[in-house]
Amino acid sequence: MLQFYVNPIPYLLNNLKEIENYRKNEKPIGIPIIVNDDNFFSKSESERYDFFRETILQKLDLLSSVVTKKKLDTNMSLLKKELKMVLIRFM
């Protein structure tokens, strides 16, 4: 689950994890993405798309390690391949 934090307050920013733990009952893994002036709002439209593409793909690498560690039934290589195609096509 991608969680977008737009201009988070400093307290929240300091306490965000790079990736959240797997929640067995709900089944999601929270993946925070911080959007602020430095990385998004002060950029051109093409740079904004680049930011989203790069950030989402980087977060998938983190997700892959959690999936492996928790032995979850997710084909990460297929997920990453298909997501790349979608990101290239629509962004």
List residues bridging with 29 in a β-sheet. 22
Q: What confidence tens digit (pLDDT) does each residue in 10-23 have?
A: 999 999 999 888 87
**Parent domain of 71:** 2-90
Q: What confidence tens digit (pLDDT) does each residue in 41-77 have?
A: 999 999 999 999 999 999 999 999 889 988 889 999 9
Please tell me the total count of domains within the chain: 1
Give CA–CA dist 59/2, Å, rounded. Answer: 9
Q: Is the pLDDT of residue 91 over 80?
A: no
Concatenated DSSP letters of 11-69: HHHHH--SSPPB-TTT--B-EEEEE-IIIIITS-HHHHHHHHHHHHHHHHHHHHHHHHH
Confidence of residue 5 (pLDDT cuts 50, 70, 90): very high
Which residue shows structure tokens 């790069």? 54
Report yes or no on whether pTM surpasses 0.75. yes
Q: Is 73 helix (H, G, I), strand (E, B) or coil?
A: coil
